[in-house]
Amino acid sequence: MEKQLENGSERVVLKVEKLRIHYATPQGDVIAVSDISFDLFEGETLGLVGESGCGKSTTAYGILQLVQPPGYIVNGSIEVDGTEVLDLGEEELRKFRWTGLSLIPQGAMNSLNPTMRIKDQIIDVIESHEGKQKSKEALRDRIFELFQNVGLPNRIYDMYPHELSGGMKQRVCIAMGVALHPTVVIADEATSALDVVVQRIVAQTLVKVKDEIGVSLIVIGHDMGLLAQIVDRIAVMYAGKMVEIAPVENIYAEPLHPYTRLLIDSIPSIKERKPLKITEGITHDPRNPPSGCIFRLRCPFAWEHCAEEEPEPIDAEHKHEVACHLYDERFEERRANAFATFANS
Ligand SMILES: Nc1ncnc2c1ncn2[C@@H]1O[C@H](COP(=O)(O)OP(=O)(O)O)[C@@H](O)[C@H]1O
Ligand SMILES: [Mg+2]
């Protein structure tokens, strides 16, 4: 894969390699993240999509070393600006979170402390890393600047969370996430709990803050339509695997993986009312994945070979990687036939 974006930097700020995370259960290990690898470039916004339960949040926790038991990291490497996160000790990690990597967790706005004023919650984040600040005025000005970055009015400084709307609370969480200017911010379903109009505004806020503060951003979501408007590249996950990664315009114009094709096909459109082809839900037991390709039980194109060999990511096109045997040179003829049949169905 060519490591350069059209108009962005080619410097890799986050490099994830062969990350594998399991949850131990009495019935055996649930494979939540299965050997995924990807790069995040400086200044880039990468969207991570896939249906509920495919391992998006676990990937985020893994990158921040926040996987909780019974979850554990089986193998992998996570480098941020050349630092191997997996080698950091507890104290180093504590410093690194928020400053190197920060997470705006799923449901963050509901975990704001209801008994603390907004200002005190943000001051906590700043002072827990930088120690007691000498000048209260400077601290307040810094928080006002953060408010401005995320489009919040200064009057909320003294307010409590219950006095704010959902969109405002989510902006507070974004402000906290970027307060210490981390290299990489991961926003996990940051807009999912909001109504659609507010979703869009908050999503745009994320990108605006990213540009102003100069961080690199991973946006986790399941709404391909919303993500399309704010990300540079999209990575698609299915059942713990990364099945496709590509610049956003390529993936919408020509999705390659059969799962991505179904995902994009299922974006509702007013112009063309069509029945949904996709069925919700991963069909296999996550403790006992099928042999070969993870998607083959739901794939309209699967054939015997898909059960025999696991597809490795292939550079199918310029900057476009896909893990599917149809894009293997050996099966070129099959690909042409498969899609011709599909188009006519
Ligand atoms: N504490 C847990 N114990 C067992 N399995 C878990 C636990 N947390 C998550 N999982 C499983 O890990 C998989 C990935 O979950 P998650 O990362 O939350 O997915 P997503 O964020 O994409 O919805 C799912 O199959 C889920 O059921
Ligand atoms: Mg999640």
List, in order, residues 6 or more apart from 233 with CB less than 8 Å away: 5, 44, 45, 46, 47, 245, 246, 247, 248
- Indicate if ligand 1 lies below 6 Å from the C-beta of 299: no
Counting ligand 1 atoms within 8 A of each CB, the residue from 23, 57, 104, 223 with the most, and so the one to mutate, is: 23
- Indicate if ligand 1 lies below 6 Å from the C-beta of 52: yes
For residues 287 and 275, is the Cβ–Cβ distance under 8 A?
Answer: no
Q: What's 294's DSSP letter?
A: T
- Residues 143-187: pLDDT tens digits? 999 999 999 999 999 999 999 999 999 999 999 999 999 999 999
Q: What residue segments make up the domains of the chain, in order of their start?
A: 42-53+88-250, 255-344
Give 76 Cα–ligand 1 centroid separation in angstroms. Answer: 18
List, in order, residues 6 or more apart from 181 with CB less than 8 Å away: 99, 213, 214, 215
- Residues 29-68: pLDDT tens digits? 999 999 999 999 999 999 999 999 999 999 999 999 999 9
Please state the separation of Cα 88 from the chain's center in Å.
Answer: 23
- Domain covering 42-53+88-250: architecture: 3-Layer(aba) Sandwich (3.40)
- Residues 258-293: pLDDT tens digits? 999 988 887 766 666 655 555 556 779 999 999 999
| For the chain, percent of residues with pLDDT exceeding 70 | 92
Dist CA 97 CA 120 (whole Å): 19
Ligand 1 atom with the shortest distance to the CA of 68: 1
- Indicate if ligand 1 lies below 6 Å from the C-beta of 25: yes
Please state the separation of Cα 327 from the chain's center in Å.
Answer: 25
List, in order, residues 6 or more apart from 294 with CB less than 8 Å away: 34, 238, 239, 240, 241, 243, 284, 310
Q: Could you tell me the pLDDT band of residue 197, with boundaries at 50, 70 and 90?
A: confident
The secondary element (H helix, E strand) that includes residue 103 is strand 101-104
**Closest ligand to 58 CA?**
1
Q: Is residue 213 classed as helix, strand or coil in its secondary structure?
A: helix
- Residues 204-255: pLDDT tens digits? 999 999 999 999 999 999 888 889 999 999 999 999 999 999 999 999 999 9
The residue among 31, 46, 84 whose CA lies nearest residue 284 is 31
